[in-house]
């Protein structure tokens, strides 16, 4: 049975502007009320938590105007929405959980602790989310772009990345858990995966990992996801699990040529950074990929890889 929680709402303080299968958009009247609402709000059939908060007037300068929150499926709670009648007593809005429900407060977005890396898509910081180690990815504003266009692009790409990470997890691909997505600052807070990048492995270990990467890439492609940056640096071995990371360039696509671009990039990385293991690692990768997509699809994609290599702007990988 799903866990249920009842929200008692004072309509003068809380206004539902829009609802959908993915979440709700709410208007609040004060900062104090907003603080009382910093809890997960999920519609009964939501598979992805989306809560957008808007505040009128000068309050926007002191708190973010909106927030978009993503949680792993294990953190979802189902809720029932009820009106609260002010004539029955009480002031403002109250959240009264069912006795059988365990509610967790949603923390405010974290502050960066230490810069880990700077990339074309954003800056990566080591931080904390509650008591858990986390990574904060921030898409910085680009001064050379029109400000409005830049804001729209960064927001769209941030939301897309978080959604694709969730979809990859649903498909069975190990990825970091996304804790929080800030559509104002264009940042994603996610699980910090401790381990070794595949790029640091060599020999037989690399060949085995390449086969796993091929299987994971095939699973992504079979579910309509193009990673966009399929390199050995974007896979981390943590314990006995191999994680895919950095979906900043990912996209939803079922086009065979888009999937072939992923394979072409991985082949190029093997040829440049793992020359000694190139042949065996590529063979292992294709074996894993074929096990996920099937022989017919494998043949189609590899033929497209050969076509891409034959184009004038690409150097042939032997």
- Closest residue by Cα to residue 74 from 137, 166, 136, 148: 166
Catalytic residue among 123, 150, 182, 229: 229
Return the number of other C-beta atoms located less than 10 Å from residue 19's C-beta: 12
Question: Phi-psi bin for 294: left (phi > 0), alpha (psi -120 to 50), beta?
Answer: left
User: How far apart (Å, rounded) are the C-alpha atoms in residues 237 and 209?
Assistant: 9
Return the number of other C-beta atoms located less than 10 Å from residue 55's C-beta: 21
Decide: 246 and 164 in contact? Cβ < 8 Å. no
Which tokens sit at 63? 């708190």
Q: What is the b/e burial string over 28-37, where b = at least 16 CB atoms within 10 angstroms of the residue's CB?
A: bbeeebbebb
Which tokens sit at 245? 């990371």
Rg over alpha carbons for the chain, rounded to the nearest Å, is 23
- 229 counts as catalytic: yes
- Provide the 3-class DSSP secondary structure of residue 231: coil
Residue whose structure tokens are 């007037």: 57
Which run of H or E residues covers position 50?
A: strand 50-54
Residues acting as catalytic residues:
229
């Amino acid at each position: 049975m799903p866990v249920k929680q009842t929200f008692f709402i004072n309509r003068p303080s809380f206004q539902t502007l829009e609802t959908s299968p993915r979440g709700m958009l709410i208007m609040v009247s004060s900062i104090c009320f907003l603080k009382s609402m910093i809890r997960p709000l999920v519609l009964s059939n939501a598979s992805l938590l989306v809560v957008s908060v808007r505040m009128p007037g000068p309050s926007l300068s002191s708190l973010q105007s909106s927030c978009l929150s993503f949680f792993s499926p294990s953190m979802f709670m189902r809720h029932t929405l009820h009106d609260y009648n002010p004539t029955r007593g009480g002031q403002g809005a109250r959240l009264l959980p069912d006795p059988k429900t365990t509610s967790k407060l949603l923390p405010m977005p974290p502050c960066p602790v230490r810069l880990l890396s700077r990339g074309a898509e954003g800056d990566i910081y080591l931080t904390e989310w509650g008591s858990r180690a986390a990574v904060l990815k921030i898409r910085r504003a680009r001064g050379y772009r029109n400000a409005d266009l830049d804001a729209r692009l960064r927001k769209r790409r941030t939301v897309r990345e978080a959604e694709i990470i969730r979809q990859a997890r649903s498909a069975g691909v190990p990825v970091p858990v996304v804790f929080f997505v800030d559509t104002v600052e264009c940042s994603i807070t996610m699980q910090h995966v401790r381990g070794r990048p595949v790029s640091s492995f060599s020999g037989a270990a690399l060949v085995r990992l390449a086969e796993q990467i091929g299987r994971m890439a095939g699973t992504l492609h079979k579910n309509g996801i193009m990673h966009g940056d399929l390199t050995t640096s974007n896979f981390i071995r943590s314990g006995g699990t191999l994680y895919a990371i950095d979906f900043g360039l990912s996209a939803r696509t079922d086009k065979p040529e888009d999937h072939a671009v992923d394979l072409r990039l991985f082949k190029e990385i093997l040829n440049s950074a793992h020359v000694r293991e190139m042949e065996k690692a590529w063979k292992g990768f294709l074996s894993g990929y074929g096990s996920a997509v099937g022989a017919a699809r494998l043949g189609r994609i590899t033929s497209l890889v050969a076509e891409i290599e034959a184009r004038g702007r690409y150097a042939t990988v032997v």
